[in-house]
Structures are given as C-alpha cells and as structure tokens.
A and B are shown apart, each in its own frame.
Chain A
C-alpha cells in the first residue's frame, strides 16, 4: 500500500470517528457556570444538567451532611440566547460538596442465590489515585457459589462526586445502549443483559445522591440479580 492510499485511509478513519458529532448546546453555559476556584471545581462530567438538586441525607456521613444545589442557571435560554452583547445570566447558588465516604458499614446486602457466599476478604477498598483526585472512593466485593464454578458476581460501590452517568461508564465494555431502567425500592437503576455464553447481567444503581453501585454477574438470571439488588439497602 503506498503512502497516499494509507494517508487517505487514515483521513477516512478519523472522519468516520467524528461523523455526526454534535456540540452540546449548553457547553459554554456549563463551563461558565461550573467555573470557580480550582479546588472547588467538580470534575468534568458529561450529562450534568442545568438544574441538579443534590440532597444528601445527614446520615450519609458526618462530613457528608450536605444540602447542595450545585448550579442553577437562570435566565439563559441556552447558547442561542447568550450571544455577544447578551450574555446569559448565571447564578451559582452553591457548588457540589458531596463527599466520599466508606459506605460498607451501611450496606445491607440483598439475598444471594442459594449456595452463594461473599468471597473471602469481603469488601476491599479499590480507590485509586484518580478517584481521589475526583473526590471519589470505591469498594468492591466478589460473590460466588460455595462450590466455585464459572459463575460469579462483582459489586462495586462508589461514593462522592459520582453520578449514574459515571456508573454507566463502568459498563462501557458491554455497550451502554443495552441499559434499560428497572424498578428498585430506592433511587434509580438500569439493567443490561448481554447475550453470550456467559449470561452476563449488569446493573447500575444510584440509591441516592453521592453513591452509585455497579454490579456485574455471569451465569445468573436477571431475576436473581434483580432480587439481590432490590434487597440491598443502605442503613440510615
């Protein structure tokens, strides 16, 4: 293949990559509204809307008792209404201050499938340097049958400045488009069942502000996974 042909393929490859890319209409507003002192600025997040009411219960943690209304944009009709000479009016009422904490003592796990147990070691903190940077902490635990086979389930719990969007990203490898809302006793959750030999089921769940749960299982039915999730709760 000559250089010219390869260069043409490269250009075509990148063009295909950006095909149909659309600029969010509120991007400038989002940037302006979110801008503040660097240490207070939340990590960039796709999908954080214009009006988010974060109500964190006082029982979440001693330091996490926060009532935060992160950003309320008033008077701006989006980018189209904030052109030169007529900038949108942005009123920042507060910045998000939901803090990361250890949720494990508050977790009450749902019913495991018959013959299953939590893997030795229980919940392990898996917080990375990157998590800390983004004001997050995470824990995970594995569950498996007492007579181990290929079936397993992994539960990951993240706290702090986390959203369902972020939880969805935990299952990127499975394709987010497969996620559909499912009913849970508290908060919001989505489930994806991935076709394939390993019968994979994924659930992302935000029981309340400041905490998201991701669950990945192999070899379990949707009903059993959902039963576990629906039975899981947070004390307090």
Chain B
C-alpha cells in the first residue's frame, strides 16, 4: 500500500466514515457492534483499496461488506448474554405505556424486533431511499425477495404500531 493510497483511504474515512457508521448503526441497531463491523469492513476495504477504487465506488463496497458482515453474524452481541443466562426472562412481562409506545422509541423497538433481513430491507428502501433493484443488489438477493421481505416487515410493523396509532389519534381527538 503506497502513501498515496493510504492518504486517499484516510480521506475516504474522514469524509464518508460518519455516513458509514450511521449506516452500520442502523443495520445492527447497536452502536458498539456497528463500530466493530465498520472497522472490520474498512480493514477489508483497505486491503483491496487500489482494486476497489479502480473498479468504482468504495462506499458501495464498504456498505456491502457491512451487510455481509452482519448477515454472517459478525460478532453477534446476543451470544454472550445468552451464555451468561442474562437475557432469558429479563424484561418479560414489562411493557411501555401507550403514550410512550407512540413515540419514536416504540418504532425503534418495533424495528429492532424484525428479523435482520427484513430490517435491512426497510432500512435500504425507506431510510436510504434505494430502489428495489438497488436494494437487491446491495443485499445480494433478488428483487422478488426484497419485495416479499418488505411486505412482511410492513405487515409486522403495522400490527405492532396500529393499536398505538389508534390510541394516539383518539387522544388527539379528545384534546383537539
């Protein structure tokens, strides 16, 4: 790796790193894991930096690597608490009051409850604004799968959020 390439890589991280970290955070739903995943993806990109930049868009490559890394269970943080037996039972029987449920945290909770693949489809389609073919390409899957995953995810979210939304509207009507 030459000094020019190293400098170009450093510039890339400085300019695009925050966007990539936000992306990784949105994908994983976990800031610590996101940083690990991004660092891993950047290490991979750095090793092939000259080829990647010659071929085109390094940011696309890093995003794809992030998705692959998460898909392959890159350092799943769920594992340790399971080993220690911390999670089972924890939080069971607790629920948020409706007024909190309608906040963005509730939506975050609903998003977090989705299977990883469905969450990523929503992320790419609605947050990143990618088209279905672009989403499929980045995820390494078919357009049909993107459509079906998006459909399922939206259905699940609706089921979870509709009661809260109805409640919010009814409260709005009472106080309106």
Contact = CB atoms under 8 A, between A and B. Distances in A.
Interface of A: 1, 3, 5-7, 9-18, 21-24, 27-32, 34-35, 38, 41, 43-46, 79, 82-88, 126, 128, 130, 134, 138, 140, 154, 156, 169-174, 214, 216
Contacts, number: 163
Given A23-B17, A170-B80, A14 B123 contact: yes
B36 A45 contact: yes
Interface residues of B, number: 59
A154 B77 CA distance: 19
Given A44-B37, A172-B80, A173-B90, A83 B7 contact: yes
Interface stretch (B21-29, B53-61, B133-141): B21-29
A32 B25 contact: no
B115 interface: no
Contacts of B85: 154, 216
Contact of B26 (A14, A34, A140, A156): A14
B122 A10 contact: yes
B127 A31 contact: no
B132 interface: no
B154 A85 contact: no
Contact of A170 (B1, B40, B81): B81
B8 A84 contact: yes
B165 interface: yes
Given A28-B13, A41-B43, A216-B85, 14 more contacts: A6-B161, A10-B127, A13-B110, A14-B127, A21-B25, A23-B18, A31-B13, A38-B47, A83-B14, A86-B7, A130-B75, A170-B83, A171-B84, A172-B77
B11 A84 contact: yes
Interface of B: 1, 3, 6-11, 13-14, 17-18, 21-22, 25-26, 29, 31-32, 34-40, 42-43, 46-47, 73, 75-77, 79-81, 83-87, 90, 104-105, 107-108, 110-111, 122-123, 126-127, 154, 157-158, 161-162, 165
A126 B83 contact: yes
A203 B10 CA distance: 38
